[in-house]
Chains A and B, each alone.
Chain A
Amino acid sequence: MDRHRPALTAVAFAVIGFLLHPGLKPFPSDPASEPASAQDAGSTFSLVPSASAQEFERVSISSSDMPSGGLMAFGGGKKVGPFVLEHTEASVEVAGGFAFVEVSQRFKNPHASRLEAVYAFPLPENAAVTDMFMRVSSRVVASEVHEREQAKRIYETAKSSGQTAALLEQERPNLFTQSVANVPPGETVFVHIRYVHELAYDQGRYRFVFPMTVGPRFNPPSVADAERVTPPMLEPGERGGHDIQVTVKLKGGLPVTGLKSLSHELIVKKSSGATTVRLKDFDTIPNKDLMLEWGLSAAKPEVSVLSHKSSSTGTVLLTLQPQARPRPEEVTPKEMVFVVDTSGSMSGEPIAKVKEAMRRAIKGMNPGDSFQIIRFDQAASSFRPLPVANTPQNVRDGLSYLNGFDGAGGTNMIEGIKAALDFPRDPARRRVVLFMTDGYIGNETEIFAAVRERLGETRLFSFGVGSSVNRYLLDGLAKEGRGFVQYVRPDQETEKAVALFYKRIRNPLLMDVAIDWGGLAVTDFEPKVLPDLFDGQPLTVLARYSGPSTGTVTVTGKIAGKPYRRTLGVRLPGKRTENRALPVVWARRRVERLKGETYGAPKPETVEEVKGIGLSFKLVTPYTSFVAVERTLLADSRLPLETVLIPNEMPEGMSWEANFGKDAALVSIPRMKPGDPVLSVDAPRGTAAVIADFPFGKRQLCAWDEVREKWACRFLVPRGTPDGRYAIKVLAVGRDGSRAEFEADYEVDSKAPVFEVAAKAAGREVLVMAEPRRFVLETRKGRKGALAVTHDVKRVRLLTADGKVTTLRLERRPDRFVWSAKVAARGKAVLEAVDYAGNVSRQEVVLP
């Protein structure tokens, strides 16, 4: 407990500071650390580090557009209460490539009972959540960080004793859950969350993304109560009742250029060196991520160093962005190895897109490059035994080889990896492997291990093609291959995406990067292994240091095969309060690396190390959580505890039906006699497994059907199955372990239709009418589960004595269905009715 007291104290001061000076945004101190001083907390809350010229802008979002989590119920007695969340505010500052965000959401308990709520919200996948606190009435409740299980116990104890409490847990790197217990009746609760994250930087522009809603997900089983990470969605056309206001401030440093939002309409104002951005009034629904982009009016320096030290251990950040652009003739010749997944799942559009990309790649090679093409499905085969030179004839032959690709067969990816990495290396060229796949395999661990084992000097880049690729595999391939990943969706403009991909890989900018820290006492580098640098992307390295020192940092590498070397004199200070983001960003990186080093379940020692980081840095991790408990009883514990469910907004452009809603699973013949119908399940192709539990006790794996573009199971309804309605339970399991469950109904019907027949003369003809007497209640699938009464007769025919067959026509009269026709024949006739299950009934009728 003592171990955490300092951080808590610091936060408590920070909270007080925030309350006193709402315009000032406190940022957490270096956590590993001694307590931040009161002075720090109260007077130096600048979000804008000012240590160097590289710190250039401040973006402040004053919004209600924040992670619009929803309070959601758990346990029994759920209630949906979209109006509990009234408003969201947020502030974001950007400095030195980092975003500092504070989210404030205002909830009100409108009930006469106590409120317990859980709300889930999204954050950027690299967000380091550094603080949480809540305000209830005039009370401020600061948080402590504990191991997750312990934090949960503290929360549950407080909850059962009637104390107001809050718990913040990480479910996924980009999904968090907050629980709030014992909110008094009529009270308003503010929940504040602070986090920091690195900004994406690419092609000279920064990008800031603020996620606003949790889209429909499978139910992850890794959480005891799966509902907690699957907040319900509002359906299209429904609103949650809360709105959002976003204000963005950019100030200081270099002028910002080309500021624009890719998602929202903005109001932009500039004054005295600051730029203020707000959402336009009509664009304040929290149903899409806010995406801002901007550039800078001047180029970044090639090498820069920032540091922070407010405790015994400091943090240093080195940023490298070479400005050199080699001429084509200077580029290191490459041995391009194109590996294409031609398994069955790639058939159709994915393989077509891959071919298109391949054509571009082959035609875009540099003159001195050589190339090889490898295809794999169940086995691997290659274009030529060894790579061939980039000559017009070889290119023509290669394209011809490519044209023969078609998607079929299994996916034995390990063969593709071996084929690409195992053949002898060309000492004059650097091998670059371009791996194109949808990644629908289950042995990711084996694949990663194979790449790790064989990579050597080769660089492997993954290219994911499809609407729902296995990102775990593709990201992991790029990481292990020390390259990067690019995705192309079927509806995405292929040309642009592919062009960007090849713009990067065609000319690796800086390779074999090494950093000599010149005697500086730095340790614990993140990343541990330095990647190559490709066009448009900077390299940032974080490290820890213990004491003040001075030295010359030397960065070396190769550009176009020629040595690259830059030096920078660096002084690591004994104390520097600026750049306070650095320690937590280092910690966040380290947590992610540790988790990523063990594909699959983490090792116990990894869990312990991550816990240690979370506790030391006061950081939410998968194994550490924030908990805040109000010691004073604010709510009457005799009142019942009401649980409330607040749905998230449906992400813009997303349909309910497309996410396991209406008709996610259907039987091809919904009403049948015994036979062999097909169960179709509308789950994404990348789903790990779709499992059907049939009512007759059989369990079956469904298979992806390329033609239906659904999962399908063929099953048998045997003779003797009693009439009735049956439900097939379907479980879809995502590659991340998430689950979605739904049902498909079918009805076994062996009863022939029953109807009454009447015939009367109608002039020269006879009017025959058949009125069904047996009806069915049919469930209209959908959220309302509506029932409809419908007739069961598919076709009625009349065989008259003259040998003619007349089909009767259905008339939908106000209160009944009637089949009728006029015929010329008289005397005996046979009326035949067939129902939708194929049952036939026949009845003799005399035509007057």
Chain B
Amino acid sequence: MTLLLATAALGAGVETFPSCARVKAVAFLWDTAVVSAEDGACRYALDGSEVSALEAAELPPEPARQGDCEFVPRRDGLLRRCGRLADEVFPVGGFPVTSAAFHGGVLYAGTFGGGLRRMPSGERVAGVPDAVTALAGSPRGLLVGTDRGTFLFEKGKARALGGAGPADGHIVKLARGGGALWAAHFDRGLSRLQDGVWTRFTTAEGLPSDWVDDLAWDGQCLWGAGERGVFFVEDGVVKRPEDPRLLRPTTALAASSGTVLLGQAGRVVAWKNGVFTETAVPELHPQRLLADGGKVWLAGLDGLWELEGAKVTRHGVIDGKLPGDWVTALSPGPDGLLVGTYDAGLLVFGSGATLKSDAWVNPGALDRDGARLAVGENGTGLALWDGASWSQLGAADGLPGDDVSAVLFDGPHLWVGTRTGLARITH
């Protein structure tokens, strides 16, 4: 087996928190398991404890071999190539086969959708998630990489390794509250970091959907919005408001002292203590929502909406207030509302001032701390304004990726969420 490893040598001041949830490859390395995942690389002791994060692990797939036979994963099953015999494909429950390995003299096939299967019977091994992406076999056990982390199968049982990180590397929103950091994931629910311990919240823990779009801390509890409406986390327990009107897909959220503002397609909802107020906003496809000084601002795919009382005003190219209509991020600024767009840069609304014309600001990826600004950009990394000049950080500087989708100032730290991992910059 070829094993290429690089130990963690991250950029100065940049600390990464890989979930290693979506596994691409696994390998044994002495008494540890090495995992290459979409959001980084991890190394686990076989007893389950996490040893370290790796900067990279390149683990070339090893075909399963026995004698002169080789077993090759295919979309339609497991291909057997044996010397002069004709190639033969063995279907494995109808699922695409991603990997194959021998363990204890038994051939195992990893399938995408049907879990881990003993061959040739195709019997499923319990305790392994549906989507197996990688296998590595040895006399010590069978390492099973999945889209939900890594498992060690030994003595007939499978157990999870690691799991000490966030639920996933795809971060769409970061929030601070209750002494914890909260990370919303694109389609994997929510993670909480508190006292150095990560806790995961998914539909299994009561989330209405694993597709979470926005988070807000109201001083008492965390509110979340997503595909199936809003939820809140109180004392570590996920709860859902009983009002069915709050169960519509919600993509933008603001919360303060029990009042929750929701941005939904075509409307804005205010909800407090069971009182529901709705304002129709035709053509609104909200990206983010900001309550500021008696006004509600909505960033949308087709412009910027300003709500003041019952008055709804739409701004964009058509009224000359914005250079582009695809508004993605909002933040209150000392000189006015900061508006991030996808194709027209970062600007101060109403002033005509463009702060960064080439920025593609990802939805909600804008945060301010005094004079400092952090801007998460689509494909070009993290832009930092220190009050005087811009600097740019990306994967080459130790960030998990160049598609920065969430930023959050947190005391001496700046949390940076990307599509491929979470990082913390200490300055």
Q: Which of A20-28, A159-167, A729-737 contacts B (4 or more CB under 8 A)?
A: A729-737
Are B186's CB and A701's CB within 8 A?
no
Any chain B CB within 8 A of the CB of A443?
yes
Given contacts A410-B204, A676-B186, A797-B318, contact A718 B113 (CB under 8 A): no
Interface code B299-330, partner A: CB below 8 Å = 1, 0 otherwise?
00110000000000000011100001110000
Cβ-closest chain A residue relative to B213: A676
Query: Chain B contacts of A561 at CB under 8 A?
Result: none
A-contact bits for B213-245, CB 8 A (1 contact / 0 none): 000000000000001100000000000000000
The CA-CA distance from A703 to B122 in the complex, in Å, is: 23
Q: Chain A residues with Cβ under 8 A from B360's Cβ?
A: 719
Contact of A838 with B126 in the complex, beta carbons under 8 Å: no
Give Cα distance in the complex from A738 to B94, angstroms.
6
Known contacts A221-B94, A689-B130, A838-B326: A719-B124 contact under CB 8 Å = no
Q: Does A446 contact B (CB under 8 A)?
A: yes
Q: Which of the residues A673, A691, A716 comes within 8 Å of B419, measured between beta carbons?
A: A716
A688 and B124 form a contact (CB under 8 A): no
Residues of B within 8 A of A409 (CB): 203-204, 206
Asked whether any CB of chain B lies closer than 8 Å to the CB of A521, the reply is no
> In the docked arrangement, what's the CA distance between A218 and B325, Å?
45
Q: Does A832 contact B (CB under 8 A)?
A: yes
Give the docked Cα–Cα distance between A445 and B117 (Å).
13
CB distance B147 to A220 under 8 Å?
no
Inter-chain contacts of A737 with B (CB < 8 A): 91, 93-94
Tell yes or no: A805 within 8 A of B by CB: yes
> Do A734 and B403 form a contact, CB below 8 Å, given A832-B317, A832-B318, A842-B317?
no
Interface string of B114-134 (1 = CB under 8 A from A): 110000111110100011000
Is B394 an interface position by the 8 A CB rule?
no
Cβ of A601 and Cβ of B114 under 8 Å apart? no
Q: A221-B77, A797-B318 are in contact. Are A688 and B203 (CB under 8 A)?
A: no
A840–B115 CB distance below 8 A: no
Given the known interface contacts A600-B124, A601-B122, the answer about A799 and B318 at a Cβ–Cβ threshold of 8 Å is yes
Residues of chain B within 8 A (CB-CB) of A842 are 317
In the assembled complex, the CB of B96 is this many whole angstroms from the nearest CB of chain A, namely: 6
B127 to chain A, nearest CB (A): 9
B264 CB within 8 Å of chain A: no
- B318 contacts across to A, CB distance below 8 A: 797, 799, 805, 830, 832
Is B187 at the interface (CB under 8 A from chain A)?
A: yes
Q: Is the CB of B124 within 8 A of A739?
A: no
Given the complex of chains A and B, what is the CA–CA distance between A557 and B266 in angstroms? 69
Given A688-B93, A799-B318, residue A600 in contact with residue B114 (CB < 8 A)? no
CB 8 Å contact bits of B58-84 with A (1 = contact, 0 = none): 000000000000000001110000000
Q: Is B333 an interface residue (CB 8 A)?
A: no
Contacts of B76 in A (CB 8 A): 221
Chain A residues within an 8 Å CB radius of B115: 442
For residue B95, CB closer than 8 A to chain A, the reply is yes
B39 on interface, CB distance cutoff 8 Å: no
**B378 CB within 8 Å of chain A:** yes
Q: How far is the CA of A409 from the CA of B238 in the complex (A)?
A: 12
Asked if B113 and A220 sit within 8 Å, CB to CB, the answer is no
Number of residues from A at the complex interface, CB < 8 A? 50
Does A5 sit at the interface, judged by CB under 8 A?
no
Contact with B along A718-751 (1 / 0, CB 8 A): 1110000000000101101111000000000000
Whether B122 contacts A701 by the Cβ 8 Å rule is no
Chain B interface category by residue count: 35 or more
For window 373-427 of chain B, which residues contact chain A by CB distance below 8 Å?
378-379, 403, 419
Distance between Cα atoms of A736 and B378 in the complex (Å): 43
Interface residues of B in 319-367 (CB under 8 A from A): 319, 324-326, 342, 360
Contact of B91 among A221, A445, A703 (CB under 8 A): A221
Does any Cβ of A come within 8 Å of B17's Cβ? no
Chain B contact residues: over half helix, strand or loop, or mixed?
A: loop
Instruction: From A445, A713, A714, A797, name the one whose CB has the most chain B CB atoms within 10 angstroms.
Output: A714
CA distance A703 to B317 in the complex (A): 39
Residue B112 interfacial (CB < 8 Å) = yes
Q: How far is the CB of B75 from chain A (nearest CB, A)?
A: 8
Residues of B within 8 A of A637 (CB): none
Beta-carbon contact of B96 and A408 below 8 Å? no
A378 to B206, CA, bound (A): 11
Interface string of A772-814 (1 = CB under 8 A from B): 0000000000000000000000000101000001000000000
Q: Which of B3-38 contact A (CB under 8 A)?
A: none
CB neighbours of A280 from chain B (8 A): none
B210 CB within 8 Å of chain A: yes
Contact of A689 among B77, B113, B186, B325 (CB under 8 A): B113
| A contact residues around B77 at 8 Å (CB) | 221
Contact across chains for A688 and B94 when beta carbons are under 8 A apart: yes
**When chains A and B are docked, how far (Å) is the Cα of A688 from the Cα of B112?**
11
On whether the beta carbons of A733 and B124 are closer than 8 Å, the reply is: no
- Complex contacts, A676 vs chain B, CB 8 Å: 186
| B 83-106 to A, binary, CB cutoff 8 A, 1 in contact else 0 | 000000001011110000000000
* Most chain A beta-carbon contacts within 10 A, residue among B76, B130, B187: B187
Asked if B211 is an interface residue, CB under 8 A from chain A, the answer is yes
Which chain B residue lies CB-closest to A414? Answer: B126
B338 to chain A, nearest CB (A): 21
Q: How far is the CA of A797 from the CA of B318 in the complex (A)?
A: 8
A218-229 interface bits toward B, Cβ cutoff 8 Å, 1 = contact, 0 = none:
101110000000
Residue B112 contacts which of A220, A442, A701 (CB distance < 8 angstroms)? A701
Would you call B130 and A701 a contact (CB within 8 A)? yes
In angstroms, Cα B328 to Cα A674, docked, is 13
Once the chains are docked, how many angstroms separate the CA of A673 from the CA of B326? Answer: 11
* Residue from A601, A714, A716 within 8 A of B121 (CB atoms): A601
Are A718 and B186 in contact, CB atoms less than 8 angstroms apart? no
B319 contacts across to A, CB distance below 8 A? 799, 805
Residues in B neighbouring A691, C-beta threshold 8 A: 95-96, 112-113
Apart from A603-B121, A691-B112, A699-B112, what are 15 other A-B pairs with CB-CB below 8 Å? A221-B91, A442-B114, A445-B123, A673-B342, A688-B93, A688-B113, A689-B112, A701-B113, A701-B147, A716-B186, A719-B342, A731-B75, A734-B94, A830-B318, A838-B302
- Residues on A lying within 8 angstroms of B by beta carbon are 218, 220-222, 344, 378, 408-410, 442-443, 445-446, 600-601, 603, 673-674, 676, 688-691, 699-701, 703, 707, 713-714, 716, 718-720, 731, 733-734, 736-739, 797, 799, 805, 830, 832, 834, 838, 840, 842
CB within 8 Å of A: which residues of B? Answer: 75-77, 91, 93-96, 112-115, 120-124, 126, 130-131, 147, 186-187, 203-204, 206, 210-211, 227-228, 301-302, 317-319, 324-326, 342, 360, 378-379, 403, 419
The 3 A-B residue pairs with the shortest CB-CB distance, nearest first, are A689-B113, A221-B91, A601-B121
5 CB contacts below 8 A, A to B, read A707-B228, A714-B227, A718-B378, A731-B113, A838-B326
